[in-house]
């Protein structure tokens, strides 16, 4: 076998293997999403439980639960650079303390569009009286560092990412490591279209098919090149 034929063969084989691996990786991602979907359905088949202890929320990811306590309206965060229905805006994150508990839970009260006015926030004030709310428990997907802030910062604080430890220092509040997504039917919220995960199963399957088809086309090209070389 000549070097002129050997090198292209190695390149084609390596590229083929890479494309196939990408296809299987997308199928694995689809399986992960399918597992999450199953977990969500399983989590919300029973009655909505009233949780009185913050520690009990740690194993309640994807569960819908009821909480009793009050909001801390003077410690709110504006989670910027969010897009809902192709509209840019921000989420409103409001601390919520359970009755008799020391840790607060950040409640995502929903999405507000900027509407071309980044210099003016919507009215996000909320009364601090005791109330019961219904939320879906979620865990932040990323732990990213926030930019350094001044000690005399004014609330609501604009953030670009969620780092619960850093946010605890900014607010002077001990936050739980879970977040509550306020139920669509609960009051004192904004636009709420929660997605339990990013992307969809169908999208990953579609990508997998594309990678496999590309690998198939490359294999056909490689076979044709091999046949031509043999004839020579």
pLDDT of residue 18: 93
Residue 109 host element (H or E)? strand 104-113
Q: What's the structural domain count of the chain?
A: 2
Residue 143 in domain:
yes
Beta-carbon contacts of residue 212 (< 8 Å; ≥ 6 apart)? 19, 20, 23
178 and 77 belong to one structural domain? yes
Segment 134-169, tens digit of pLDDT: 999 988 865 444 454 444 578 999 998 888 988 999
**CA-CA distance, 81 to 128, in Å (whole number)?**
27
**3-class DSSP state of 89:** strand
User: In which residue ranges of the chain is pLDDT below 70?
Assistant: 1-5, 42-44, 46, 141-152, 196-199, 230-232
Residue 51 in domain:
no
pLDDT of residue 149: 46
- The Cβ-side half-sphere exposure at 217, using a 13 Å CA radius, reads 7
Segment 110-141, tens digit of pLDDT: 999 998 778 788 889 999 899 999 999 988 86
pLDDT of residue 151: 44
Cis preceding linkage at 156, omega within 30: yes
pLDDT of residue 92: 96
Residue 21 in domain:
yes
DSSP letter string over 151-215?
Answer: TT--SSEEESS--HHHHHHHHT--EEEEEEEE-TTSSS--B----SSSS-HHHHHHHHHHHHHHH
Contact 144, 161 (CB under 8 A): yes
**CA-CA distance, 227 to 85, in Å (whole number)?**
52
Q: What is the C-alpha R_g of the chain?
A: 25
pLDDT of residue 202: 84
Residue 169 in domain:
yes
76 and 178 belong to one structural domain? yes
**CA-CA distance, 187 to 133, in Å (whole number)?**
8
79 and 151 belong to one structural domain? yes
What range defines the domain where residue 219 resides? Answer: 3-38+207-231
What pTM did the predictor assign?
Answer: 0.70
| Pairing assessment for the beta strands 87-98 and 77-84 based on DSSP bridges | antiparallel
Residue 198 in domain:
no
Residue 70 in domain:
yes
170 and 70 belong to one structural domain? yes
162 and 213 belong to one structural domain? no
**CA-CA distance, 124 to 74, in Å (whole number)?**
10
């Amino acid at each position: 076998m000549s070097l002129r034929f050997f090198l292209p063969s190695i390149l084609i084989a390596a590229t083929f293997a890479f494309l196939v691996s990408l296809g299987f990786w997308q199928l694995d991602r689809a399986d992960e999403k399918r597992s999450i979907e199953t977990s969500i359905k399983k989590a919300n088949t029973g009655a909505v439980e009233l949780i009185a202890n913050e520690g009990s929320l740690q194993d309640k990811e994807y569960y819908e639960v009821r909480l009793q306590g009050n909001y801390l309206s003077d410690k709110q965060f504006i989670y910027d650079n969010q897009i809902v229905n192709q509209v840019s805006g921000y989420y409103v994150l409001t601390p919520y303390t359970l009755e008799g508990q020391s840790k607060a839970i950040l409640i995502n009260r929903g999405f507000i569009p900027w509407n071309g006015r980044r210099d003016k926030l919507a009215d996000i004030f909320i009364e601090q009286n005791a109330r019961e709310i219904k939320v879906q428990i979620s865990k932040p997907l990323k732990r990213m560092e926030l930019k350094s802030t001044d000690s005399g910062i004014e609330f609501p604080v604009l953030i670009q990412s969620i780092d619960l430890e850093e946010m605890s220092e900014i607010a002077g509040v001990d936050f739980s490591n879970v977040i509550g997504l306020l139920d669509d039917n609960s009051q004192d919220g904004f636009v709420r279209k929660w997605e339990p995960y990013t992307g969809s199963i169908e999208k990953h399957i579609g990508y997998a098919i594309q990678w496999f088809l590309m690998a198939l086309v490359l294999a056909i090209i490689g076979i044709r090149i091999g046949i031509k070389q043999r004839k020579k």
